[in-house]
Structure 1
Amino acid sequence: MIKTVFQHAKKHPGLIPQFFFTFLGMTGAALYLIRLAKGPHVTWNKTNNPEPWNKLSPSYQYKFVAINTDYKNLKKEGPDF
């Protein structure tokens, strides 16, 4: 498949940006899926830690971007389980 892409790029140099941005988009999507798979709400080992979100502190910043929220001043609003 890679060989075919290089052959097309040699014959039609105008396709090089299309190949580049397609590869960039696919790489970005894969990295985003990996990031989501490592989040605090994902459980990969249900026998040792079935609810990993209960171990997070109330000041844990789980959002990628928190513009108006200061997580350091948050108080815990629920009971410990």
Structure 2
Amino acid sequence: MKKWFPVEVMPIFGIVGVACAGATAYLWKLSQGPEVVWDRSSDWRPWDKVKHDENLKYITVNPEFWAQRRAQAAAKNGERAVDAI
């Protein structure tokens, strides 16, 4: 019985397959990022709901800064800086 392809092309198939899988994984990673919006009908600007004193990072290098900012926000009692002008 004759084979469909010569044995020499097996490494090429393997390399191309791994490259396609890597490209697919990379595109999936990019599509799941925070700057990508898939659903524009609901809340497509979630970054507008982040408060001024809210930290969204996993690792905080300077926690005193966020504590100070949180205290300043609590002291203002809902006042905006624009209202003082």
The structure with the largest alpha-carbon Rg is 2
The answer to whether the 8 A contact 1:43-1:50 is kept is yes
Q: Which runs of 5+ in 1 are unaligned?
A: 1-5, 61-70, 77-81
Instruction: Figure out how many residues of one structure are paired with residues of the other and give that number.
Output: 59
**Within 5 A, what are the aligned runs for 1:1-81?**
7-8=4-5, 12-54=6-48, 55=50, 57-60=55-58, 71-73=59-61
1:47 Cα deviation from its structure 2 partner: 2.0
The residue type paired with residue 27 of structure 1 is A
Q: Write out the 4+ residue segments of structure 1 that deviate beyond 6 Å after TM superposition.
A: none
**Taking structure 1 as reference, are residues 58 and 48 closer, same or farther at Cα in structure 2, changes over 3 Å only?**
same
The answer to whether the 8 A contact 1:43-1:49 is kept is no
Report the identity percentage: 24
The residue type paired with residue 72 of structure 1 is T
Q: Distance in 1 between matches of 2:37 and 2:55?
A: 17
**Taking structure 1 as reference, are residues 31 and 53 closer, same or farther at Cα in structure 2, changes over 3 Å only?**
farther
User: TM-score by structure 2 length?
Assistant: 0.54
Q: Distance in 1 between matches of 2:10 and 2:36?
A: 38
Q: Which runs of 5+ in 2 are unaligned?
A: 67-85
